[in-house]
Structure 1
């Protein structure tokens, strides 16, 4: 079989990106394999192959493809980034971080913010993405300090890096959202730069379309052979800090907009990554079409591109292009001479028109231009002809005789020179262009008989005078950014408070979110979680129920919803939720957690353990499933298994306070109160706003006969949650032990009104009245307690028999989760 032609690799790249953009990942992987077989040593091919495997979730394959024996692959930003992502999935965090650190020189300083649109992509990451990925790798590795540093760096570059913000909150770092979600100077510079460049060169069909066009978005209707203005940081304009004009203006000729000796030579689109282009990478769209084929000699098929260069003024000389015609170049007399008529080279001194034709051949040229059946003239010839047809400030028709053109020639050439360009006839033109804010040449082009196969390019369209349109667009974009950042600030403030378990403040922050955003599934889930942390289970259930009604397919935080229903003892609703989630996605850990909670509420603890174990198999980082598994082992009095489950929860998430709380509960049941207090306090450090943790600390101190510290813990719990029945009940207990029955009675009377059917409260009221020598009230409340809880008949009867004696007997029934 003959070797593949030169355009095969470019076509394969185009097809790979086509299938990736249209989510045909298997097709993209197959074609990437073909490209890699053609170019086994090309890191770009390896990058595409690894990227396709990564999109398919095949982390090991992506790891192997990006980690090749070829040393160049580790000098390729795309390969290093995919390798780091694969390492994150394979839990090889240190290797991924090392790979990104090695190629720091390729991504440091990059900023792709505001450079993505429907037709423009950056297929390799910028500095913000790499910093965020490093933060994730170090956070998973356990290096909190480095993770915080990298997340902060990512947010400094791009305020919209939401993963970096949530990463900081999840780590427990001190974050001030008002310092994160704000417009940076780089953003303002990018908006202003894009808007300024957008006026002079964007192709528009009317003045209205020019005013309303978004300067950031590259629309598909733009001529791919004459692309609109690209931003200053684009690769087509700055290569390693040098202006593209200097590249195109060198000794090499230019064909189809690409310099034969430039860095683009032999390069197919999409443009490859990093090694050759240290500033920016373009994937299709801005690169001038999906595929750039090999240069051809027939330049009439596609006119040469003339990109609008930021900073290019009228004094600079346009890029030198290869002469389109076979005629020699002309010389112009210096500006100081009296005559402005160009003298031809290698001719006999015949006068020549501005179009470059000799007078003796003008009749032939005119005939060719008028003939409707003839092929259209070359673009350079058309541009030269327009110079003779246009008279600024006159109402004469565009088409004039050769004699008129000859008589007006000196004045016309002076006007051309006044623009500041010493052009060569037949090479370039500044017709209808605004050059860096300098004076504008207003010309009317009327060529009704000229056939056109596509819309005129941006360089050939006449643009209106600069009347501050960029400022209007820039102001609009700034207003949009302010609104969006303000929205992220409100949502981010709520998320930050919730990550610090400041549930009341989180609810206030989410209440400030606009209604449409507040009723979105993700925000409603955060609100439901905040209510759950406040033990406001009815409100939490209402929030999650709203999610199920609006978006039944939403699975995030459904384990919290199932725990809420468990606390409310709603067996039917919990069973329905579990079966619905299992029907939606049997491979989601949330579904198995809901099924396990349903089994637990039905007191089928062994089945519940199996469900929670299945959830941890599906997601080994799902810490709450380990905690729920530990609760079931405690219910079965399998304390060793419970401790193992709680430790797994802490290993999955070191800030999962429920795991620390569970360990403290196990040690408390085993009578190891000092160790239990240590674990309870660790949980309290993570979540200082949980009243139940403080109550457990007070109980452990009470068991160790430390009554005063225990009372302080109960009072602190009441300050956090004045509605906490458990905290007030334990406070009344400790007050009785400290010999303050009057203060205890005050708390108990409040509790009797809050929970009139609680046997514990009536039993403690009986003991309190016994201390106060109110025998009738004591017997009445002890009798009520006996009726509410017949199982405790023996203990209550002993207290009633010793009604005239002082004792410190204590009894309570606890059912906590």
Structure 2
């Protein structure tokens, strides 16, 4: 019956599998294997609490592993960690077998999976030192455990640890995703030293009669370059030069022993004994397809190594790009991502990484282009769409933003990203209460969604609910201590409350996490100006322009600084250049109008003031104040 249950699970008929598993468990309620099978059915069908309760008193490693997985999903981190550590390590835990082509082991989880799960549980329990250790051990065993590498990036350990300890190899993408014989993609039983016989089951990735077809197809799907298949002699020579694959003596086909050759022959000797000489000669003149697939185990291992090298190169580039993104070296990340093959570069994940890099650089038009391309390729993908909606919020593309929100909500109303997108639509129209309702819904769907808390904080600030804003910013930092946007929000809160020193401290903390943000540099410059440190403020504006030459806020701050210095000509030139980057930003029109008024050109001043009011009528009070002030008084505002 158990075989039938696993078959139903593999065919995704979870109700049938659950029904059979319940019958199996009823036969022997105390049997741990029956509990494991039933809990697996519940877990895969989304009944996580049911699986949790069934496994609560289980003791075998596979049961405790699944129980810990349930604890992770239910956010019972300490309980899951404690139970898993009670049975770890055990000799029954298998070493990682990186055989992507091999079948999963239903009885025992591999060591890398256990280590990664322990890392997740420790991270959830705020035991970051332990989490780091488990992630490191996991990545040593399996560089394909992408979750562990992502966790390193999110925890900010890649760059910081490398600076503290340059010899720390485990967190260097070049070393994690290295080309290594131990990281070969192969079935568990492909030990060259143990057998010279080649059978149709020796390595599932390569099947007889296909002559490397699977390798070519996989490489093509990955967007990897395909090298021509060399002759057996060339491959063996290549092996001797590059890498020692096996401890056996090198041999060509002609020097193999007779028994091995007979084992490889595609013909049956009983049939050949009844053939006459002419028939045998004709057979030899027209060999069968399998004769052309006359490859040694070592040659197949070499082909496997070649594809492994290409895959590791691909993963290394993606990992290095993500590592750069984790500490906001966005230019470096863009350079790395753009070295990927075209097929990978045009995949939704990489397109979103490119978009986020441009977003961090405040290059919103470029970010919008990449996000739009990713959404057209994969409209079902909601991940990162909350950032896309923020980009649209910045560049005031309200129609596209509304269409995106409607599309995402229609596709999945339980998607937190969809509700954030809807909230940004209301925020752009200054409907703060409706925006907050949408953000609250996103938090209900995923309480750990950091960005939903942060946007709720910003929206409460706009609605002058300062205490609630501070609460949301602090919750955001609880879910992600490296979320600089929440620190930026807290700094704005303290600045609004007149606590300039506290504001300066929080801006500085945010800059420590993301020292390349033009927006943060400008905000830090603004608080330095208020503290009377004008020279430092101007250097911050210059640095912001250097980091992001097309960042509207950085250029705006520099133009405003020039205006305050009464350098009207340069200020006007900067502001007009900026207008080409952000023609729908009312602040720029107000600044240009103010400069024209200071120069005595009231016609052009009124033209830009009117344009600012057309874009956003809420600027009416500010424009009236500018118009009513004497020209030289404006210069000191």
TM range (shorter): 0.7 to 0.9
Match of 2:174 in 1: 178
Match of 2:152 in 1: 168
Taking the aligned partners of 1:782 and 1:515, their CA distance within structure 2 comes to: 49
Partner-residue secondary structure (3-state), 2:404: helix
After superposition, residues 313-462 of structure 1 pair within 5 angstroms as 444-445=269-270
Whose RCO is larger (CA < 8 A, sep 6+)?
A: 1
- Pick aligned residue for 2:22 from 28, 33, 53: 33
- Pick aligned residue for 1:626 from 442, 446, 453: 453
Match of 1:85 in 2: 69
Pair 1:97 & 2:81 matched: yes
Structure 1 589/111 Cα, relative in aligned 2: closer, same or farther at 3 Å? same
* 8 Å contact kept, 2:96–2:110: yes
After superposition, residues 114-129 of structure 1 pair within 5 angstroms as 114-115=98-99, 117=101, 121-129=105-113
Once the 2 structures are TM-superposed, how far is the Cα of residue 191 of structure 1 from its aligned partner?
Answer: 7.5
Pair 1:44 & 2:33 matched: yes
- Pick aligned residue for 2:6 from 3, 8, 17: 17
* 8 Å contact kept, 1:765–1:781: no
With structure 2 as the length reference, what TM-score do the two structures score?
0.78
Once the 2 structures are TM-superposed, how far is the Cα of residue 778 of structure 1 from its aligned partner?
Answer: 7.5
1:567-602 alpha-carbon deviations (Å, 9 max, x no partner): 221222111111111111111111111111122223
After superposition, residues 191-230 of structure 1 pair within 5 angstroms as 194=190, 196=192, 199-200=196-197, 202=199, 210=208, 212=210
* 8 Å contact kept, 2:361–2:551: no
Any stretches of 5+ residues in structure 1 without a counterpart?
1-11, 218-309, 312-418, 420-431, 450-462, 770-775, 812-817
Taking the aligned partners of 1:78 and 1:106, their CA distance within structure 2 comes to: 11
Match of 1:754 in 2: 578
- Pick aligned residue for 2:393 from 535, 557, 566: 566
Partner-residue secondary structure (3-state), 1:556: coil
Structure 1 101/108 Cα, relative in aligned 2: closer, same or farther at 3 Å? farther
Taking the aligned partners of 1:467 and 1:477, their CA distance within structure 2 comes to: 16
Structure 1 591/215 Cα, relative in aligned 2: closer, same or farther at 3 Å? closer
Structure 1 748/167 Cα, relative in aligned 2: closer, same or farther at 3 Å? same
Match of 2:313 in 1: 486
1:71-97 alpha-carbon deviations (Å, 9 max, x no partner): xx32x1101111111111111112212
Once the 2 structures are TM-superposed, how far is the Cα of residue 748 of structure 1 from its aligned partner?
Answer: 4.7
Match of 1:586 in 2: 413
- Which one has the largest radius of gyration? 1
* 8 Å contact kept, 1:77–1:107: no
Match of 1:143 in 2: 127
Any stretches of 5+ residues in structure 2 without a counterpart?
159-170, 216-245, 248-256, 275-289, 613-619
Structure 1 448/102 Cα, relative in aligned 2: closer, same or farther at 3 Å? farther
Once the 2 structures are TM-superposed, how far is the Cα of residue 201 of structure 1 from its aligned partner?
Answer: 5.8
* 8 Å contact kept, 2:8–2:17: yes
Once the 2 structures are TM-superposed, how far is the Cα of residue 624 of structure 1 from its aligned partner?
Answer: 0.9
Taking the aligned partners of 1:586 and 1:725, their CA distance within structure 2 comes to: 34
* 8 Å contact kept, 2:477–2:483: yes
Taking the aligned partners of 2:516 and 2:557, their CA distance within structure 1 comes to: 18
Match of 2:301 in 1: 474
1:625-662 alpha-carbon deviations (Å, 9 max, x no partner): 11122222122111111111222222222222211111
1:374-424 alpha-carbon deviations (Å, 9 max, x no partner): xxxxxxxxxxxxxxxxxxxxxxxxxxxxxxxxxxxxxxxxxxxxx9xxxxx
Pair 1:687 & 2:514 matched: yes
* 8 Å contact kept, 2:555–2:578: no
- Pick aligned residue for 1:67 from 56, 69, 75: 56
Partner-residue secondary structure (3-state), 2:90: helix
Pair 1:555 & 2:382 matched: yes
Structure 1 786/576 Cα, relative in aligned 2: closer, same or farther at 3 Å? closer
* 8 Å contact kept, 1:108–1:126: no
After superposition, residues 597-676 of structure 1 pair within 5 angstroms as 597-676=424-503
Pair 1:542 & 2:374 matched: no
Once the 2 structures are TM-superposed, how far is the Cα of residue 556 of structure 1 from its aligned partner?
Answer: 1.2
Taking the aligned partners of 1:513 and 1:115, their CA distance within structure 2 comes to: 25
The count of residues paired between Structure 1 and Structure 2 equals 551
Cα RMSD (Å): 3.7
After superposition, residues 231-242 of structure 1 pair within 5 angstroms as none
* 8 Å contact kept, 2:69–2:80: yes
Match of 2:137 in 1: 153
Pair 1:511 & 2:335 matched: no
* 8 Å contact kept, 1:139–1:171: no
Once the 2 structures are TM-superposed, how far is the Cα of residue 546 of structure 1 from its aligned partner?
Answer: 1.7
Taking the aligned partners of 2:447 and 2:552, their CA distance within structure 1 comes to: 36
1:254-291 alpha-carbon deviations (Å, 9 max, x no partner): xxxxxxxxxxxxxxxxxxxxxxxxxxxxxxxxxxxxxx
Match of 2:540 in 1: 713
1:301-323 alpha-carbon deviations (Å, 9 max, x no partner): xxxxxxxxx99xxxxxxxxxxxx
Once the 2 structures are TM-superposed, how far is the Cα of residue 717 of structure 1 from its aligned partner?
Answer: 1.7
Structure 1 734/563 Cα, relative in aligned 2: closer, same or farther at 3 Å? closer
* 8 Å contact kept, 2:42–2:48: yes
1:662-696 alpha-carbon deviations (Å, 9 max, x no partner): 11112111111111122222222222111111211
> Normalized per residue, which structure has more helix?
2
Once the 2 structures are TM-superposed, how far is the Cα of residue 112 of structure 1 from its aligned partner?
Answer: 3.7
* 8 Å contact kept, 2:139–2:176: yes
Taking the aligned partners of 2:199 and 2:104, their CA distance within structure 1 comes to: 15
Structure 1 548/169 Cα, relative in aligned 2: closer, same or farther at 3 Å? same
* 8 Å contact kept, 1:211–1:469: no
Partner-residue secondary structure (3-state), 2:197: helix
